[in-house]
Structure 1
Amino acid sequence: MSETAAQLLLDRCDELAAISSNPEFLERVHLSPEHRAANDLVAGWMREAGLSTWQDAAGNQCGRLEGREPGLPALLLGSHIDTVPDAGRYDGMLGVLLAIAVVGRIRDSRLDLPFAIEVVAFSDEEGTRFGTALLGSRALAGTWDDEWWNLTDTDGITLFEAFQDFGLDPARLPSAFRRPENLVGYLEAHIEQGPFLEDADRRLAVVTSIAGARRFALSMVGKAGHAGGTPFDRRRDALVAASELVIEVERISKERGVIGTVGRLQAFPGGVNVIPGRVEFSLDLRAEFDDDRDDCLRLLFEAAHEIAERRGLAFHSTEIYRADAVRCDLGLRDAVTAGIRATGDENPMAFWSRAGHDGVAVVAVTPIAMLFLRCRGGVSHHPDEAVKKADVAAALDAYEATVRDLVASRSLSLST
């Protein structure tokens, strides 16, 4: 039964992966025609599972199964359906489909629910189009920043304009905000996006916390010059300085137990026979604990300024994203642990997520917890993303058992 259900989920991931703005690879971004098509497809699957559906004022696709009486607070299940460029087909999407399948099972069992269950397919977790992640979940959590309305995509379209083009009214955005008293908690199933489960030959894990991340737009500014005519002692080569800093990012991050990545670097003016006068590059820094991350950042910036001064350049940095580390709720974690044990794993693995997730935003309004399932090679954000059908079946069983554990504990607390 679970294997059959797992195959259906994998087939549906394939259907979603076919909705892409690029015929050569998977890319589906916020407030695009592909976003609308994906919402429509997911809404149909929600209705099949017995949920009433709506698209909220931020473009999140939502569904609800009422509890024993209408209007009860809801246990929120979900993940995201947007992607990075050249994406895999399980990041986010599989979590949404697992949540829908769990609700379908709960409905079919006619379980007496002391709370409602809602599923949300978040519209923008990756931040691919407008450069700021978690727009969908921050809208739900009521932590929206009105300055984001001025963000632009590569075509110069503002977020405000994109809302209108999608048929959303920016003035109605606050109607997407949820109140803490209307929520029981938030659960998310997600591929691990790392190698630890596979290395341990395990299927599932409990997430203890989500990494605290900071991202920066960096630049080294020197002076462009002729590659043949400018002696080395007179060069102010921005690319050499930036490259030196990239090496320092790796070295210092390893020493401090932090994950530092330079994912983008571009030299200007870009001629093969021109000394680069300016280099723009990125920095992604994340760690289990914010203090470790921030201490590493201090050391990196000290190194950057030393490199710039020694080479006669200027170093600039602008923070473009910050999400502090989030601890998963102990009670919800216990339920996830019980859910995994119900699949026969008596001693579930537990570790922190190196990747960011919508729970980073949702925790502002309700407690969160996460279930990880193994992905092949730990590969994610890439077309080679892959999962085993047996692992998906185990995740579905564990997810359902987690919800049932919360139903039992909530019912017990209400009766005492």
Structure 2
Amino acid sequence: MVEASGLRAVTRCQVLGSGPYSETEQGLYRGYLSPAYHAAVDLVGAWMVEAGMRVDLDPAANLRGRYEGAAPNAPALVIGSHLDSVRDGGCYDGPLGVMLGIECVAALHEQGRRLPFAIEVYAFGDEEGSRFPAAMLTSRAVAGTLDADLGRIADAQGVSLEVALASFRTDYDVVTANTPTDRLSVQAYRSARRAPEDILAYLEAHIEQGPVLEAEGLALGTVTGIAAQLRYAATVRGMAGHAGTSSMPLRRDALAGSAEMVLAIEAIARADGSDLVATVGTLEVLPGAANVIPGEVRFTIDVRSGDAGRRDRAAQAILARLEQLASTRGLVLDLALIHDLPASPCDEALMDLMDAAMAGAGQPPRRLVSGAGHDAMVMAALCPTAMLFIRCRDGISHNPAEHVEPADAEAALRVMLGFIDKLGQKHLGDRLADRP
């Protein structure tokens, strides 16, 4: 048996970065419920089994491995992250947290150790929202906070979530299945929800996706919380027309208006002078012909801040400015809120345990906030959460250049094992203190 290691976690992420585990030949893209996701689930499930876990698929198509505690049916520490990726993404955003969770269990299994609680490793299927127009569908199902109309969700090719679920098959039974024909469906999706009494805490290891740790010469950091997020879908409608015969004063050019809107969004965020960020990440121009004035443009707006009030004020200023620009240019602007994710602080007691585990592993404790969203912010509605950030080269993420040093992953594994030990001691102490 190969000893658990950070190097193996990194190597496995690299294996998942190409071949049947990506939908594209050049670069990585693994969409939720795609053939590439299917292949990844099968392989990662095999690694979970090898590590000593019982493995199944829940009704939201999350892969889950369970390592029982000293007593059967004990509450679980959930260690998780996601398997899906953005288009042209990197190998480590998401999968590294899953692989490190597997390595934690493998280390305990090698030693024959059982804890006062079970450990469950979750490989969430949809954190990025890069296939269907809603992020964190699968962790929201587990946390019981999913309020989307699942029957109306479809991807860019028109494949509905319902059809994608119905056609998804793996070697692992759906956890609620009674018969082989009782498979995944939108009707069963929300039954992935876990009861709070069954979950002790949630731990997620993730690359930082920023430059702070590298700039300070640190491998790891304790996350204090995740910034509040707002995301909108904007549609700007003007009038399509011939590029050669429509005079400039009479044009209602949806792209020219949208370009001005994008710059206004940037200007408002820059002027705030804080941690506030605003991003237009996608833009679609219709009809998309060189000799036609654009009649419709669709784009997204993403607004984030560690302070929910600051985020909301900036968002209102942005929306008001966009409405003003649309009116001035004779355009029609439709705005739809895609999601509103509140700021999510990590649990203070768990942060203290993480800092102690860092010190015990010879890593200087360092606390920092996450500007990126993670499944942890959703799981906070279900249980106390903790996050460990891992240095990534140049702070690059969502990019093929994403890179993690095996030594940093090894340090993260040692800290996570120390955190698990300290949580076990705390849990046992709390149980003894509760006895009459």
Residue matched to 1:193? 209
- Give the residue type in structure 2 aligned to 1:217: A
1:71 to 1:87, Cα distance in 2 relative to 1, 3 A: same
1:406 aligns with 2:423: yes
Match for residue 178 of structure 2?
none
Change (3 A) 1:62 1:222: same
2:49 aligned to 33, 47, 50, which one? 47
Q: What is the root-mean-square deviation of aligned Cα atoms in Å?
A: 1.8
Contact 1:138 1:361 in 2 (8 A): yes
Pairing 1:142-161 to 2, within 5 Å after superposition: 142-145=144-147, 147-161=149-163
Q: How far off its partner does 1:137 sit? A: 0.7
Taking the TM superposition and a 5 Å limit, the aligned residue runs for 1:1-400 are: 5-18=5-18, 19-145=21-147, 147-167=149-169, 168-170=183-185, 171-256=187-272, 257=274, 258-346=276-364, 348-400=365-417
Q: What is the DSSP-based 3-state SS (H/G/I as helix, E as strand, rest coil) of the residue aligned with 2:126? A: coil
Aligned-pair CA distance for 1:213:
1.3
1:310 CA drift (Å): 1.9
Please identify, of 370-379 and 34-43, the stretch whose mean Cα deviation from structure 2 is larger: 34-43
DSSP-derived class of the 1:17 partner? coil
- State the SS of the aligned residue for 2:167: helix
Q: TM-score, normalised by structure 2?
A: 0.91
The residue identity in structure 1 corresponding to 2:265 is: V
Distance 1:228 1:98 in 2: 59
Give the CA deviation at 1:219. 2.1
Q: 1:270 to 1:39 in 2, by over 3 A?
A: closer
Query: 2:106 is aligned with what amino acid?
Result: G
For residues 382 and 143 of structure 1, what CA distance do their matches in structure 2 show?
Answer: 30
**Structure 1 residues 66 and 361, CA, compared in 2 at 3 Å: closer, same or farther?**
same
Q: Deviations over 1:375-403 (max 9, x none)?
A: 01111111110011111111111111111
Q: Deviations over 1:6-27 (max 9, x none)?
A: 2212221122123112222211
Cα distance, 1:3 vs. partner?
10
In structure 1, the partner of 2:173 is none
Deviations 1:22-71 (Å, cap 9, x if unpaired)? 22221111112222221111111112211111111111111111111101
Q: Distance in 1 between matches of 2:114 and 2:288?
A: 65
Query: Residue 365 of structure 1 aligns to a residue in which SS?
Result: coil
Name the SS for the 2:108 alignment partner. helix
Which deviates further from its counterpart, 55-64 or 226-235?
226-235
Following TM superposition, by how much is the alpha carbon of 1:112 offset from its aligned partner in structure 2, in angstroms? 4.9
SS of aligned partner of 2:123? strand
Q: Number of paired residues? A: 414
Residues of 2 paired with 1:350 and 1:24: CA distance? Answer: 36
Q: Which amino acid aligns with 2:349?
A: G
> Which residue type is aligned with residue 367 of structure 1?
P
Amino acid at match of 2:347: D
Q: C-alpha distance in 2, partners of 1:277/1:173? A: 38
For the Cα contact (< 8 Å) 2:7–2:407, is it kept in 1? no
Whole-Å separation in 2 of the counterparts to 1:227 and 1:154 = 28
Deviations 1:205-232 (A, max 9, x none): 0111112112111122222334344333
Tell me the distance in 2 between the aligned counterparts of 1:354 and 1:149: 31
Deviating more after overlay: 204-213 vs 336-345: 336-345
1:30 counterpart letter in structure 2: Y
Aligned-residue identity in percent: 41
Greater mean alpha carbon deviation, residues 276-285 or residues 266-275 = 266-275
Shift of 1:111: 4.0
Q: Give me the TM-score of the superposition, normalised by structure 1.
A: 0.95
